[in-house]
Amino acid sequence: MRISQGLWNVIKREVRLLTSRPIYLVGMTLVPLLMAVFFVSLLGEGLPKKVPAALVDLDHSQMSRQLTRSLDAMELINITQRENSYNEAIAAVQRGEVFGFFVIPEDFEREAVAGRAPTLTFYSNLTFYVPGTLVFKGFKTMAVTTSGRLVQTDLVAKGAPSQIAETILQPMTVQNHPLNNPWLNYSYYLSTSFLPGLLELMIFLMTVYAVAHELKTGKSAEWLRTANGDIWTAIIGKLAPQTLIFTVIGFGMNALMFGWLHFPMNGSMADLLLGMFLFVIACQSFAVFVCSVLPNLRLALSICSLTGILAFSIAAFSFPEQAMYGGIAIFSYILPVRWYFLIYIDQALNGIPLYFSRLYYVALLVFPILAALAAPLLRRAVRKPVYVP
């Protein structure tokens, strides 16, 4: 009874703090919601199309004009500029006007008709990874297709039947059937990783601020007395309102993606929502662990900010963990968002039974255990707060 009364008192105290400081309203609701709308709008088409590119036609022949029309008709590429030289094209790339350019050499048609294998050259700016990659893909497809046409024409000219020439160039037909995302929609991977990653960052920051600010202002002893001296009652009572708000925000993000935007859901939504709830708990526990080890607002915020930002790179969203250096890959295992993303892959995309994802749920439960082990350190700091600027 004493613990329950203390818990209720801490919750009421925390609700008063949440409603009296605009930083909580902004960090817990406005930022996640606005960023969710921003990301899903940015990736609304699923895949960027008609990426601006340039063409350098040094031949000006019938064949080069046909190649130009074929390039401009591609879904991924939009030839927005036609330059007269390599230097002009590279300058356009440097100015950010285009993301790559395709060069048709002089005497292209004459060399091709003579069977002397002219060289097609293309350049892409991979500083901007997605548009640069799409331009590279489009240019390479066109170069390979053109090369195949020239070889086929040469074989037919030398007397080979058209069907035999086609068989030599393409001895087998490859059928591509992407599993679980046949639309190749980037948003199904990027939005479902960026939004939880952003939510993780905000949970880290808001949790650290709520806990370490008590130490900075010297009110931590009052906070502990409100909890009747029990550190876990103090922690649970302080974080319970935030847990509720962040869980609702997380559920809202899932409703936006899987309900409103109809992202593929091949498994159980209930299992995914359970993963979201455990993900929120794990993020808060990680932040509490940091505050316990470093009971200083500035240092704890710095550590959690750095970890939250690096999560977008080392949580293995876009780069496989198996291909990372060992010293870097190990950090992906200490990020709650990685385990939640693996749950999303299993439950939403693959639709496999919950049993096969059980280790990912267990991994999220490890974080509260680590926070519990570090709680005595936080109790010591809360009892005798020392402000270190």
Q: What is the mean pLDDT of the chain?
A: 85
What DSSP string runs through 136-156? HHHHHHHHHHHHHHHHHHHHH
User: Two tokens at 110?
Assistant: 């004459």
Distances in Å between the alpha carbon of 258 and those of 173, 349, 354?
35, 11, 19
Q: Are residues 290 and 344 in the same domain?
A: yes
Q: Which residue segment(s) compose the domain that 146 sits in?
A: 51-169
Please report whether residue 80 resides in a domain.
Answer: yes
Helix (H, G, I), strand (E, B) or coil at 135: helix
Q: How many domains does the chain divide into?
A: 2
How do beta strands 100-104 and 77-83 pair? unpaired
C-alpha dihedral (49, 266, 258, 186), degrees to nearest 10: -20
Helix (H, G, I), strand (E, B) or coil at 130: helix
Q: Are residues 254 and 375 in the same domain?
A: yes
- Residues 295-333 pLDDT 10s: 988 999 999 998 888 887 777 666 777 777 767 777 888
Q: Are residues 211 and 332 in the same domain?
A: yes
- Residues 42-100 pLDDT 10s: 766 666 678 899 999 999 888 888 888 888 888 888 999 999 999 999 999 999 899 99
Measured distance between the N- and C-terminal CA atoms of the chain, rounded to whole angstroms: 39
- Residues 168-180 pLDDT 10s: 656 666 666 676 6
Q: Are residues 72 and 16 in the same domain?
A: no
Q: Are residues 226 and 120 in the same domain?
A: no
